Chains A and B, each alone.
Chain A
């Protein structure tokens, strides 16, 4: 009895989740999944405990979250957002994004997505009946080619998805790139849906610029973000969508039917999180920056082709050197078996047949210094005299396709 919907049948289980499972089975050090293994900030956890004890446990909408989010958007991007009409609190950025897509995409609508990209966007769009159209970012710096972008638009294009800071590459879109995007979105009268979950994790004094803050963009952009990455509480499921009132209202109406409300005690705790002082964000950034530097140096040392240093997020997208004839998946399997360290093969982030789609490995460095040091030690054990990984010499006799 085949009772699955046609969309569900077309979906495959998440490769990221599968690898995590294998890693667990091998007791491997997990540099694959994008969540911290260090503890969440005490002031935020305490706020959650207080909320539970104060009986904030029934359905609720905590308007204060909207007030703080609006305030932050003003501080960071000089945007004027109405906390009463423009913000929808959701179960994580995941739900905010899903609700936004369902709110704006009709069957057959095309949605432009940059490649590589986080696997969920594709499926969300398809679930809503939309058609993802991919525009490849050009390696090795993952630059946006405005000509390629322009060519992707048709009169079926309804929306465009932008994730910056970017998973998996760590790219932070520049002001020029955002301007090019805004010009073409305006010309084609298209909506933008952004994923800005890494908005507070940028490096080298680089700032995250929100696409919606560009002239003419606020009225056509849905911003999605959450507490998860900024406050290291990925398991709390509190996020939001920011959009012009009419679209926010549509997103709210869908959200209410999808989940009805985000977990109440964590909404309350979100207030404490969003009130964190500037020093919190400074420390967050500098801690992650030193982790980035450590892992980047390690990967260079052991022989990866490291041209592009992550500008934001807590991922590094390492390229396999030419001498390595293993594919990304084969490499990751070897790394699990030989070093007991797991990372994510880049293939799952690419759509289409780009030449580079099997050459990248994503490492997450949102891990404690102990974890990163242990992982480095295990990886170094696999190095030869010159410091390069032995694995990179595997499959030397195989003829590359």
Chain B
């Protein structure tokens, strides 16, 4: 009983943080970035551009600020933006959704994911993820009390082992978390794979949470939203954001699209996580989403050019580079350089070569599975990419055994 502990007790009781925090540590990105700054390394680790978003979107934000759109927006989103999201979704998938009942605006896709998990997952529910996965998923799932199960996508093709996926399904499986185009591998789920996943979901009455933030960075094939497959809209939450498509990652404008009964759960959690999303930036997002086709074509062309600089460079240096169909990431096998694992390799790369990559072991439930791989990003201007390649050509030596 607390009363019996007098102030004479000189050892202070440590202030207790919640048990769920066992999963919450500083991210690998923060660690690598600090190291990068210390060594003046070129950062091809963190997944955000070193160039800025388009003027027409920035101007729309400025106009909104000047037009006094600076107070709380409606919690589920500025109506115009909900509408623009619905229109864009129809253009991309053919699906017609109700902007008022089926679209929720959030502070980035990160929050959309958090709200989806907190609103739709019960403690003890099982959720299946595909490893490697974006490192936030696991921590957020544990916040919702979920049990995370993973099925690994393996190099070189990172294709979905459908039998393994089927074997993981139990009576407690509530949802499958899908990310396509996929971070970190750049894989894009094919129609066959999505159909197979869809069948399993329909058979077992499972939900799908589909993170599609890189949908406009689809290079080798068309992006397919699983929600558009037969029988799937009713059980899918489609998640996306402005950041990657419009090089405005710091604006934190994201959204969740789902049928009304699922949207309701997402909105409940959202209203208690952040209450509302930045108003002037929502207004600007309307202009962004209504951009002409030429914007998206130019975006793809620019990124394809950057991709080829990086990929050719990495290959010439001696990495084994896996094919990446989408996103602005490529994953490589670093083992030719003789370092014992991915973390050791990435630290070596920063300190001795002056380039940052991300060790992928953090993207797996079992880090061992990722130890041969590292992730590079090409969301940087061409000069930066060329400089990074130069540094690697000069200083990255294949250790001869």
Contacts and interface: CB of A to CB of B under 8 A. Distances in A.
Interface of A: 1-8, 11, 14, 17, 33, 35-37, 39-40, 45, 48-49, 52-53, 55-60, 91-92, 94-95, 98, 102-107, 120, 123-124, 127-129, 155, 158, 187-189, 191, 219-220, 232-237, 244, 246-247, 249-250, 253-254, 256-266
Interface residues of B, number: 82
Interface of B: 1-3, 5, 12-21, 24-27, 46, 48-50, 52-53, 58, 61-62, 65-66, 68-75, 107-108, 110-111, 114, 118-123, 136, 139-140, 143-145, 174, 205, 207, 234-235, 247-252, 261-262, 264-265, 268-269, 271-281
A39 B68 contact: yes
Given A8-B265, A102-B143, A94 B273 contact: yes
A14 to B, nearest CB: 6
Contacts of A17: 74-75, 271
15 contacts: A3-B174, A3-B265, A45-B70, A52-B58, A52-B62, A58-B247, A59-B46, A59-B250, A91-B274, A92-B274, A158-B16, A257-B136, A259-B111, A263-B252, A266-B278
Nearest to A158: B16
A237 B276 contact: yes
Given A52-B62, A259-B252, A98 B24 contact: no
B110 A8 contact: no
B2 A58 contact: no
B53 A4 contact: no
Nearest to B12: A219
Given A49-B62, A258-B110, A94 B275 contact: yes
A244 B15 contact: yes
Contacts of A233: 70-71
B278 A263 contact: yes
A227 B269 CA distance: 23
Given A236-B278, A257-B110, A155 B251 contact: no
Contacts of B16: 104, 158
A127 B269 contact: yes
Contacts, number: 234
A253 B21 CA distance: 8
Contact of B15 (A3, A36, A102, A247): A247
A58 B49 contact: yes
Contacts of B136: 256-257, 260
Nearest to B125: A5
Contacts of B12: 219
B276 A265 contact: no
Given A95-B107, A220-B15, A3 B71 contact: no
A257 B140 contact: yes
Contacts of B273: 94-95, 98, 258-259
B35 to A, nearest CB: 17
Given A219-B12, A258-B274, 6 more contacts: A4-B261, A5-B121, A6-B122, A235-B71, A237-B107, A264-B250
B1 to A, nearest CB: 7
A106 B296 CA distance: 45
